[in-house]
């Protein structure tokens, strides 16, 4: 959910939807809306045999009242964000939050989310997400990958803060420091064959953002934005 402190009456319910085959998505919830399950996944048609195809010009779904009987049709709502089941994405979205805290002003008004399995983290401008909620499946907000700056307290010699592409190596290091015996993280997924991060997010009453990782049993607070890299695009790098 999101409640803007400057405009409490203007609030929104946000859902992160774990996909079956191809897409992980974020939708804005509306009363009585239909989001296409199980005939849609992301901005594509999901067929009964779990294969997919592109949307046709007429995008209406029958309303099933039993397994076979229908009553009228409905036009489904579509995601405002999505990412694919790839190594640079993931296969199980972790629901995020719109940052409303004060510690990291660069994240104000940004929706921060990630992937449970791979530990990758992204952000998107929430105003862009609301603008993308226009009924057109072709309209999506832009998401940006966030690298993670982290200073390993157990490294010797101390290398200082290092930039990581995801939470996976950070969680793996802590898992071993805390007594994990297996060479890889516990759990498995289609994309994270060497174990999964089990990533989640939380906020406190002040709107500050926390990153939770079940595989190493840690709760970490986001404290700032690291220095940009010379060759980077417009990505933020959280600390």
Instruction: Tell whether 31 is covered by a domain.
Output: no
Is residue 232 very low, low, confident or very high in pLDDT (cuts 50, 70, 90)?
Answer: very low
Sign of CA dihedral 218, 205, 239, 121: positive
Provide the terminal-to-terminal Cα distance of the chain, rounded to the nearest Å.
24
Instruction: Tell whether 122 is covered by a domain.
Output: yes
| pLDDT tens digits, one per residue of 133-176 | 999 999 999 999 999 999 998 888 989 899 999 999 999 999 99
Instruction: Tell whether 79 is covered by a domain.
Output: no
| pLDDT tens digits, one per residue of 202-230 | 999 999 999 999 999 999 999 998 776 44
Instruction: Tell whether 168 is covered by a domain.
Output: yes
- The whole-model pTM stands at 0.90
Q: What range does the domain containing 231 cover?
A: 85-238
Tell me the C-alpha distance between 239 and 228, whole Å.
12
Instruction: Tell whether 76 is covered by a domain.
Output: no
Torsion of CA 161, 167, 169, 171, to 10 degrees: 100
Instruction: Tell whether 18 is covered by a domain.
Output: no
Q: Give me the number of domains the chain comprises.
A: 1
Per-residue pLDDT at 233 exceeds 50: no
């Amino acid at each position: 959910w999101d409640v803007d402190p400057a405009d409490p009456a203007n609030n929104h319910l946000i859902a992160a939807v774990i996909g079956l085959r191809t897409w992980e998505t974020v939708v804005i919830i509306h009363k009585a809306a239909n989001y296409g399950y199980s005939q849609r996944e992301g901005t594509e048609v999901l067929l009964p045999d779990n294969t997919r195809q592109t949307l046709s010009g007429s995008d209406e779904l029958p309303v099933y009242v039993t397994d076979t009987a229908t009553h009228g049709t409905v036009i489904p709502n579509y995601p405002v964000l999505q990412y694919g089941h790839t190594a640079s994405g993931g296969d199980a979205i972790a629901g995020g939050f719109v940052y409303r805290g004060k510690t990291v002003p660069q994240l104000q008004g940004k929706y921060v989310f990630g992937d449970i399995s791979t530990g990758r983290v992204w952000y998107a401008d929430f105003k862009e997400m609301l603008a993308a909620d226009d009924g057109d499946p072709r309209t999506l907000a832009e998401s940006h990958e966030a690298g993670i700056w982290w200073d390993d307290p157990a490294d010797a010699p101390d290398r200082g803060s290092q930039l990581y592409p995801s939470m996976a190596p950070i969680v793996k290091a802590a898992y071993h420091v805390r007594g994990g015996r297996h060479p890889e993280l516990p759990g498995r997924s289609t994309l994270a064959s060497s174990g999964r991060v089990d990533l989640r997010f939380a906020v406190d009453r002040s709107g500050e953002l926390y990153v939770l990782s079940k595989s190493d049993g840690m709760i970490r607070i986001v404290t700032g934005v690291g220095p940009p890299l010379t060759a980077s695009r417009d990505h933020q790098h959280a600390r």
